[in-house]
A and B are shown apart, each in its own frame.
Chain A
Amino acid sequence: MTRKHQSNRWRRFDDWDNRPLRLDLFSKDDPENGFTAWKGKNDPVPNLIIEDGMVAAMDGVSSDHFDMIDTFIARYHIDIETADEAMAMPSDEVARMLVDINVPREHLTRLAHGMTPAKLADVVARLSAVELTFAYAKMRPREMPGNQGHVTNAKDDPLQMAADAAVAVALGFDEIETTMRVSRNSWSNALACCVGAAVGRAGVLFQCSSEEAEELEIGMKGFTSYAETVSVYGTEGAFIDGDDTPWSKAWLTSAYASRGIKMRCTSGAAAELLMGFHEAKSLLYLEARCLCMQRGMGAQGTQNGGIDGAPLASTIPGGVRELLAENLLAVWLDLECASGNDARHSESEIRVGAKITPYLLAGSDLICSGFGTILKYDNSFNPSSFNGEELEDFLVLQRDFEADGGLSSVEESSMLALRQRAVDALEAVLEALGLAVPTPTMKQSVVVASGSNETETFSVGDVGRISAAIQQKGITILDVIKALHQRGFCNEAENLLFLLRLKLSGDYLQTSALIRDDRVLSAVNRPNNYLGPGTGYRVSPGRLAELANIRDELDKDTVISGQAVHAAFEAKKITYRELGDYVPSSDSKEVVVAISPAFGTRLFQTLAGHSLADVLRHLRDGIEAEGMSMRVIRCWHTADTSFLGLTAARLSGTGIGIGIQAKGTAVIHQRGRLPHNNLELFSNAPITTHQHYRSLGTNAAVYARGDWPEPVIVTNNGEALGARFHARVALIYAIETAMLVADRMPQQVAITFLEDSDA
């Protein structure tokens, strides 16, 4: 035994160690230390005592021992009128109602308003992942799903911000969100994104995530139309360290509404765990407290589902199911839900794809509360589940499931012009307001760049000066609109003005509001009315066509025109001349090769891209190397590899034949064998090489001689050949089968090779 076979572990573990998955951490369930999805050591048993119309005790705590959060929930969330009825219902029964298509959504939201956090958590914890998904589809507030994207970059470059915002709008995001690397750049980011988001269409809501006070200030200048970083925590300790109280956050909630700005809160599993104040309570229970508080504050919605805590929550057993459960809690409480799927919870693409699937299938007010529209390294929040890199994967998932994730493909040919327009518009604003003058090189580098590593643009210091100037000069949205219009960007100016008018109506302050085709759609005028098949949101035929429309779709014409390119080339290498019906021979030195109907007539290349002339020549060389000769026949009655091979064998003097299709699939067959019981099969045409065909010829000749050669093995590297080739195979094979003539005899074919070396 040699050293190379010595090992103290099964080497599969080495393979597993090297997978991206193993970069993820996995933590043990530990209820004492807060590492538990459902059952914290100190999770209370649900209860509610009401005396004189006031909450006297809730979830095991009497009102004189309430912390601030309990007090807030008792005063502002608990609906006293519904509470007795709701709390008395068995949790199993309520859980079943959540997945019952015969129980209307309104009935369930009414009950939720009378339930304590522990009761709410107790109900949703009883649902499996598929039940949570189904209940989510039924309970989400707005009829049609939407999506939100991050637009940031590593340089806080306003030019790139504008270009990328315009791209996000074109992709169909209903909301876009920015933040910065350097906090003082917030004003520059806000202005740039605001301008970029106005390119292409009106009504995309925009926010600049910043320090609470500054974010509101930016909103008051009219740049932003929504906010969502009003963070809420499930324990008092975490809340205070977050530098707020339920009352300060409620104040902020009203403040946004008072300026016509849409607002949602942020919370999510494991935030308290990260902040060191978990009180040995479960992720779900603490999140239930957050959500009851948010409803009590009068927020129309929430961004939850882990959010920044999602990666930590996902290390815990059942953590990803818990994220689904807390999203369900949000919508059950009748809150708009931007359902997380932002901070990337895993290095494993399989885990990421699996995590998004329930949301894509169920739909969500905003499926991602931050889909990275830019490259991972440009995401100033952190890489998202899906990013610029994986955007097309998401588009294809929509197409696969015919599920509306809110996004559409963009035409490659229109993207440069769109980005140019956004950069020009921003330049106009920067110049007109005396903020900066970008050079042509800066602009050009941004227009074509995939990410900020490729740009030559403003320095981070420049951006800081632009940002400070915007703030100091007191520039407002009105100045921006004016600048755009004066410099000829009238559509963009009108798009921003449209949003200002809408702001005066307060319409998009209502639950789950977004704007499509210049109309506000929310849970008020477009409520989710799902009550089983045929109800609720259905993807329209037009939308279905949009979902199906992805880049580089294959069809028969593409395949035929692709082959036609090679026809002329092939004509210089080989001629085929049919000599009439084949006559059986008794030649003891021959191997018969049967080619398919389209071989060299309609099709000219194998799936591996080999010229068919070259393939035939390598077969011949292999056969002749063993002292045999090749005879070629063309079959018209079949294009099937096995039957081609068997026909060749039956008509061969040696009883050995080769069958080969135009796509390159080949077989060595022998007279007397069953059709699918061949001597050697070369089924993986896409990875079959010239040398393989030569060896195939050699082996056939060896069989013809009566010996047994070493079979030729075409090895693969685990490629998903079906995914890569089968659509093309089916189209090509259909060309072959369409040419069949059932009763036509195999034809003898004279082959002339016109050149003698590989092209």
Chain B
Amino acid sequence: MPDKQKMYPLSENHSDELRAANGFRIDELTMENILSDKVTMEDIQIAPETLNHQAEIAAAAKRYPLAVNFRRAAEMTRLPNELIMEIYEMLRPGRAVDRASLDAIAQRLREEFGAEKLALFLEEAAEIYTRHGVFSKRF
């Protein structure tokens, strides 16, 4: 088994190092802290580093598209829920009316969130949607 796969499961082999996206340590995720309102939903947000580790594990198991997905997801951890939902809505057929709106949001992801992979993915979608007429209104 390649080394990357030996990391797995992280919850058993690397639990000391696990943190939430905001740096909250897993050993702080205790019942005591929940009861005293010291835990927020942000504290249980999976960290991009963790998802990148899972991407390495997936790639070591030769599951490359899964690894690519985890890397996109790692970038996505920085996006607020509402923005993720908003972009999902834009990607549905006939929601975005033209290519420019998708390109614009891609640019925003790149600049505001450093999400290069997601930006490229949206730009690709914009190109494909243009070619296949997905921007046409569905009434």
Which A residues form the contact surface with B (CB < 8 A)? 67-68, 71, 76-77, 79, 106, 109-110, 212-213, 216-217, 220-222, 236, 240, 243-245, 247-248, 250-260, 295-300, 334, 476-478, 481-482, 485-486, 490, 493-494, 497, 500-507, 509-511, 519-520, 522-525
Give the complex CA separation of A250 and B72 in angstroms: 10
Q: Which residues of chain B are near A217, meaning CB under 8 Å?
A: 81, 85
Given A67-B132, A68-B128, A68-B134, decide whether A243 and B76 contact each other with a Cβ distance below 8 A: no
Query: Does A76 lie within 8 Å of B65, measured CB to CB?
Result: yes
Question: Which of A216, A482, A511, A525 contacts B66 (CB under 8 A)?
Answer: A511
Give the complex CA separation of A243 and B94 in angstroms: 9
Nearest-neighbour CB distance to chain B for A600, whole angstroms, equals 66
Q: Which residues of chain A are near B138, meaning CB under 8 Å?
A: 240
List 19 A-B pairs, Cβ < 8 Å: A240-B138, A247-B91, A254-B73, A254-B118, A255-B76, A257-B73, A258-B74, A259-B45, A259-B46, A260-B45, A298-B66, A334-B62, A486-B35, A502-B11, A506-B53, A509-B51, A510-B8, A524-B5, A524-B8
Nearest-neighbour CB distance to chain A for B54, whole angstroms, equals 4
Q: Which of B22-79 contact A (CB under 8 A)?
A: 26, 29-31, 34-35, 39-41, 44-47, 50-51, 53-54, 57-58, 61-70, 72-74, 76-77, 79
Question: Which of A258, A295, A497 contacts B65 (CB under 8 A)?
Answer: A295
Additional A-B contact list (6), CB under 8 Å, known A258-B51, A260-B46, A497-B30: A251-B87, A255-B73, A257-B72, A299-B66, A522-B9, A525-B9
Given A244-B92, A245-B134, A252-B88, decide whether A504 and B40 contact each other with a Cβ distance below 8 A: no
Give the complex CA separation of A97 and B66 in angstroms: 25
Query: Does A220 lie within 8 Å of B81, measured CB to CB?
Result: yes
Q: Which residues of chain B are near A523, meaning CB under 8 Å?
A: 61
**From B54, B69, B76, residue with most partner A Cβ within 10 Å:** B69
**From A243, A523, A524, residue with most partner B Cβ within 10 Å:** A524
Interface: B104 (CB within 8 A): no
Nearest chain B residue, comparing its CB with the CB of A260: B46
Nearest chain A residue, comparing its CB with the CB of B40: A478
Which B residues form the contact surface with A (CB < 8 A)? 5, 8-12, 15, 18-20, 26, 29-31, 34-35, 39-41, 44-47, 50-51, 53-54, 57-58, 61-70, 72-74, 76-77, 79, 81, 84-85, 87-89, 91-93, 118, 121, 124-125, 128-129, 132, 134, 138
Nearest-neighbour CB distance to chain A for B12, whole angstroms, equals 7
Q: Which residues of chain A are near B125, meaning CB under 8 Å?
A: 245, 247-248
Nearest chain A residue, comparing its CB with the CB of B44: A500
Q: Which residues of chain B are near A481, meaning CB under 8 Å?
A: 31, 34
Nearest-neighbour CB distance to chain B for A389, whole angstroms, equals 38
Nearest-neighbour CB distance to chain B for A194, whole angstroms, equals 14
Query: Does A297 lie within 8 Å of B129, measured CB to CB?
Result: no
Query: Does B20 lie within 8 Å of A71, measured CB to CB?
Result: no
Give the complex CA separation of A67 and B128 in angstroms: 9
Give the complex CA separation of A528 and B15 in angstroms: 26
Closest 10 CB pairs between A and B?
A298-B69, A257-B73, A258-B76, A248-B91, A505-B11, A260-B46, A247-B125, A258-B73, A254-B72, A507-B9
Nearest-neighbour CB distance to chain A for B67, whole angstroms, equals 8
Q: Which residues of chain B are near A500, meaning CB under 8 Å?
A: 29, 44
Question: Which of A106, A298, A505 contacts B18 (CB under 8 A)?
Answer: A505
Give the complex CA separation of A221 and B47 in angstroms: 17
Query: Does A503 lie within 8 Å of B46, measured CB to CB?
Result: yes
Given A213-B89, A504-B50, decide whether A509 and B70 contact each other with a Cβ distance below 8 A: yes
Nearest-neighbour CB distance to chain B for A490, whole angstroms, equals 8
Q: Which residues of chain A are near B15, meaning CB under 8 Å?
A: 505
Query: Does A250 lie within 8 Å of B121, measured CB to CB?
Result: yes
Nearest-neighbour CB distance to chain B for A298, whole angstroms, equals 2
Give the complex CA separation of A434 and B26 in angstroms: 30
Nearest-neighbour CB distance to chain B for A262, whole angstroms, equals 12
Query: Does B26 lie within 8 Å of A254, measured CB to CB?
Result: no
Q: Which residues of chain B are near A247, meaning CB under 8 Å?
A: 91, 121, 124-125, 128-129
Nearest-neighbour CB distance to chain A for B60, whole angstroms, equals 9
Q: Which residues of chain B are near A79, meaning CB under 8 Å?
A: 64
Q: Which residues of chain A are near B134, meaning CB under 8 Å?
A: 68, 240, 245
Query: Does A505 lie within 8 Å of B9, measured CB to CB?
Result: yes
**From A240, A476, A523, residue with most partner B Cβ within 10 Å:** A240
Question: Which of B41, B62, B84 contacts A222 (CB under 8 A)?
Answer: B41
Q: Which residues of chain A are near B20, meaning CB under 8 Å?
A: 504
Give the complex CA separation of A439 and B37 in angstroms: 30
Question: Which of B9, B50, B132 contacts A520 (CB under 8 A)?
Answer: B9
Give the complex CA separation of A216 and B85 in angstroms: 8
Given A258-B51, A258-B84, decide whether A525 and B91 contact each other with a Cβ distance below 8 A: no
Give the complex CA separation of A253 and B118 in angstroms: 12
Q: Which residues of chain A are near B18, meaning CB under 8 Å?
A: 504-505
Give the complex CA separation of A523 and B31 in angstroms: 31
Nearest chain B residue, comparing its CB with the CB of A513: B9
Query: Does A497 lie within 8 Å of B81, measured CB to CB?
Result: no
Nearest-neighbour CB distance to chain B for A429, whole angstroms, equals 14
Nearest chain B residue, comparing its CB with the CB of A67: B132
Give the complex CA separation of A713 and B79 in angstroms: 81
Q: Which residues of chain A are near B66, meaning CB under 8 Å?
A: 298-300, 510-511
**From B9, B84, B91, residue with most partner A Cβ within 10 Å:** B9
Give the complex CA separation of A507 and B13 in angstroms: 11
Nearest-neighbour CB distance to chain B for A4, whole angstroms, equals 64
Give the complex CA separation of A490 and B30 in angstroms: 13
Query: Does B62 lie within 8 Å of A110, measured CB to CB?
Result: yes
Question: Which of B11, B50, B93 contacts A245 (CB under 8 A)?
Answer: B93
Give the complex CA separation of A373 and B93 in angstroms: 36
Give the complex CA separation of A626 and B72 in angstroms: 95
Nearest-neighbour CB distance to chain B for A308, whole angstroms, equals 21
Given A213-B85, A251-B88, A476-B41, decide whether A507 and B29 contact each other with a Cβ distance below 8 A: no
Query: Does A258 lie within 8 Å of B46, measured CB to CB?
Result: yes
Query: Does A506 lie within 8 Å of B51, measured CB to CB?
Result: yes
Nearest chain A residue, comparing its CB with the CB of B70: A257
Given A213-B88, A257-B70, A482-B35, decide whether A298 and B65 contact each other with a Cβ distance below 8 A: yes
**From B8, B47, B79, residue with most partner A Cβ within 10 Å:** B8
Nearest-neighbour CB distance to chain A for B39, whole angstroms, equals 6
Give the complex CA separation of A519 and B8 in angstroms: 11
Q: Which residues of chain A are near B129, meaning CB under 8 Å?
A: 245, 247
Given A248-B92, A501-B29, decide whether A506 and B40 contact each other with a Cβ distance below 8 A: no
Q: Which residues of chain B are near A485, meaning CB under 8 Å?
A: 31, 34-35
Query: Does B8 lie within 8 Å of A525, measured CB to CB?
Result: yes
Give the complex CA separation of A297 and B88 in angstroms: 14
Query: Does A506 lie within 8 Å of B54, measured CB to CB?
Result: yes
Query: Does A297 lie within 8 Å of B93, measured CB to CB?
Result: no
Query: Does A106 lie within 8 Å of B8, measured CB to CB?
Result: no
Question: Which of A243, A298, A497, A520 contacts B70 (CB under 8 A)?
Answer: A298
Question: Which of B5, B31, B77, B128 contacts A493 (CB under 8 A)?
Answer: B31
Nearest chain A residue, comparing its CB with the CB of B54: A506
Query: Does B10 lie within 8 Å of A507, measured CB to CB?
Result: yes
Nearest-neighbour CB distance to chain B for A407, whole angstroms, equals 25
